[in-house]
Copies of this chain bind each other. A is one copy, B any other.
Amino acid sequence: MAVAIEVPRKTKRIAADDAAERSEARLHSLAKSRLVIEGVSPEIDGGRFAVKRAEGEVLTVEADIYGDGHEKYAAAVVYGASGGGEERETPLSYVDNDRWAADIAFDTPGPHRFSIIAWRDLYATWRYEAEKKKTAGLDISLELTEGRQLVTAALESGRGTKADQKLLKSLVQLLEKAAAKGDAEAQYALLQYGDVVRLLDATGIRTHLTRYHSEVPVWVDRERAAFSAWYELMPRSQSNDVTRHGTFDDVIARLPDVKEMGFDVLYLLPLHPIGKTNRKGKNNTLTPGPDDPGSPYAIGAPDGGHTAIHSELGTFEDFARLVEATHAHGMEIAIDFAIQCSPDHPWIKAHPEWFDWRPDGTIKFAENPPKKYEDIVNVHFYRGALPSIWYELRDIVLFWISKGVRIFRVDNPHTKPFPFWEWMIEEVRRVDPGAIFLAEAFTRPKPMKRLAKVGYNQSYSYFTWRNTKTELTQYLTELTQEECGEYMRPNFFVNTPDINPRYLQTSGRPGFQIRLALAATLGGNYGVYSGYELCEYIPVQGKEEYLNSEKYEIRAFDWKREGNIRDDIAFFNRIRNSEPALKSFRDLAFYNFWNENILYYGKRTPDGSNFLLFIVSLDPHKPQGGNFEVPLWELGLPDDGSVAVENLVNGDRFTWTGKMQHWWLDPEALPYAVLRIGT
């Protein structure tokens, strides 16, 4: 028979000494994280970009947490302001399949962060195993000693409050007394007593405490960034007289009207001096008359550029009065930030290095071959313009912030470098963490999302072109349920000076009510461009553009003319503020309505105290109706349960009994219903 040979084992050092040192350092570095914390959600691109929340808004943090072996664990979210400061802690609860979750919230705007800690919970493991052995009738005297040792260790660790420490001291004494008497039952009862368990949760040793490798950034906004109703207007068209250029005072005169409709944000199209070279005429022609005012997007004239005011609108004193009056009406001003220049902009002479020049010495106009935009030139951001134009543009924003403007609608941001936006928004936020930027990017999905990642608080969306039930359901599900919901907040504009939606060109007044209802209730942020309330719809033939657009001429409207939908607007803006469920963009659910022309959805506060149902016909031409499901299951009710219903449009109150109900919408009467349900 052969004899076993014990072969001498290798020495600890397997290679050169420095390799051995690296190996030992690596060992200790890895050993620090015995528990696994992974699959953390939300976390955008591995923490490269911040999750967004408004102040007080719930952030549900989830992670996969586990370790080797069969021990019990405990875990918590730790969070606070970025760059140090006090750290709060909220316990995570076990969900399923090694997944844990907790809800947290941040109180103040600005940069924040969270991370996750987890540890072996020796006391929980002890309780579990001691109970199993006791139940099996085994001797647990050793277990009782081990339990006492865990309590003593908690006392010695000094964790918890002074009161906790005092309680621990008494507990140790009680346990020792019982042990001295040999009273196993008393010791066991004490160690499994509910209050003792809670005491040990708070003070027990955190064995193998592991912290998630990164601090997940969270940008916290003031509420307006997540919840706003915009009214967009062209200041020069507010005179009620096409022969007189409107002024800031004319805008002030319109404030009660806008306030009556319930808007939060008054968004003014560009205010700056307008170039004369290659100025556009009415309806975007290349042959302007001498009195044609030109497009306000052709920014810059000899009397100034992006920090100047077009002289016919007023002075900075007038503008200050407008800002003040707007605030007095409970609203805020938003202005346009459009980084392009008319050929007359002072920058062209002062900073030729900010522009592109052709081989023949002429400036390069904006173009999309074979189209040319000869009233506009674009700046560039690199070569001789880096970093001077970056500072210049940042300082323009800071200038307007000093004038009382905190909201900026940015024109075509996807045609300027993403790194510029990231840097500029960071810079501005150091001065005003409440500054809000809306990205007017209508481009491919990923660049739109990137703008939101680099810091934009709000984003234009594809909402304008999502009209059918399938389109709306798919798009809203993406926006509210997929990862982009963590950092991108769409602003659902029903129309803009550049978008006269085809749907509204043929829908008549009911179509305007329908699109309003959808935008105001599906969107946390939404907006209308003035004229919408009057159901303005006449297009340049075959195009999604308005005929006789304000972009190229002064217009005048009777803002209360017959057939307007001001009451609908006021209704939606009122319930947006009275019904808490409407404040959350993402707490949205689509339910079954057996009619492809009716969109049926619900919004509900996380605590369930406010629950609204919306039934919106998508057909502006003829009545639609059908059966639908009342989501009784979400209220914990059986299929034959009853709910109290209030029709928020007319105040009717009634009861639905049973899951299946019927509704009918006549677009000539009202194409939508808003119902509040409760038990």
Contacts and interface: CB of A to CB of B under 8 A. Distances in A.
A14 interface: yes
Interface string A1-42: 111111101101011000100011011101111101011000
A414 to B, nearest CB: 6
Interface string A369-383: 110000000000110
Contact of A7 (B213, B307, B447): B307
A313 interface: yes
Contacts of A416: 68-69
A308 B4 CA distance: 6
Given A315-B2, A369-B132, A446-B64, A415 B9 contact: no
A369 B2 contact: no
A465 interface: no
Contacts of A28: 387
Given A30-B423, A68-B414, A359 B309 contact: no
A561 interface: no
Given A2-B314, A30-B422, A415-B69, A14 B427 contact: yes
B6 A304 contact: yes
A245 to B, nearest CB: 9
A489 interface: no
- Find the residue from A5, A273, A360, A396 having the highest chain B CB count within 10 A: A5
A630 B33 CA distance: 51
Contacts of A146: 358-359
Given A6-B304, A12-B395, A145-B359, 6 more contacts: A4-B310, A26-B423, A36-B418, A68-B418, A69-B416, A142-B359
A386 interface: yes
Contact of A387 (B31, B39, B98, B417): B31
Contact of A4 (B64, B273, B422): B273
A324 interface: no
A370 B311 contact: no
A260 interface: no
Given A98-B446, A303-B4, A129 B66 contact: no
A559 interface: no
A85 interface: no
A414 B414 CA distance: 48
A87 interface: no
Range, interface on chain A: 35 or more
B6 A303 contact: yes
A419 B132 contact: no
Contact of A14 (B27, B46, B136, B431): B431
A70 interface: yes
A272 B288 CA distance: 97
A315 B69 CA distance: 35
B370 A419 contact: no
A611 to B, nearest CB: 35
A391 interface: yes
Nearest to A415: B69
A5 B315 contact: yes
A368 B136 CA distance: 12
Contacts of A69: 414-416
Contacts of A67: 417-418
A30 B419 contact: yes
Given A369-B132, A419-B31, A3 B386 contact: no
A391 to B, nearest CB: 5
A577 B454 CA distance: 51
Interface in A404-430: 414-420, 422-423, 426-427, 430
A6 B36 contact: no
Contact of A149 (B27, B315, B359): B359
A56 to B, nearest CB: 29
A444 B316 CA distance: 67
A482 interface: no
Contacts of A360: 142
A338 to B, nearest CB: 15
Lowest 9 A-B CB distances belong to which pairs?
A46-B46, A136-B370, A30-B419, A132-B369, A2-B315, A145-B359, A10-B395, A4-B303, A6-B304
A329 interface: no
Contacts of A450: 36, 38, 66
A307 B369 contact: no
B6 A417 contact: no
